[in-house]
Amino acid sequence: MEDRGHSVQDFMAKKLITFTPDTSISEVIESLLKNNISGAPVLDENKQLVGVISERDCLKVDVSYGYFYANNLPDGTVKDFMSTTVETVKMQANIIDVAVKFTKLHYRRFPVVDEDGALVGQISRRDVLRAVHHMKRGK
Q: Domain-by-domain residue ranges, the chain?
A: 8-136
Can you name the residues that pair with 41 across neighbouring β-strands? 52
> Average per-residue pLDDT in the chain?
87
Of 139, 112, 133, 115, which is closest to residue 124 (Cα–Cα)? 112
User: Mean pLDDT over residues 1-27, rounded?
Assistant: 86
- pLDDT tens for each residue of 48-82: 999 999 998 988 876 655 554 455 566 789 999 99
- pLDDT tens for each residue of 84-114: 999 999 999 999 999 999 999 988 899 999 9
Q: Please give the model's pTM, rounded to 2 decimal places.
A: 0.81
CATH architecture, domain defined by 8-136: Roll (3.10)
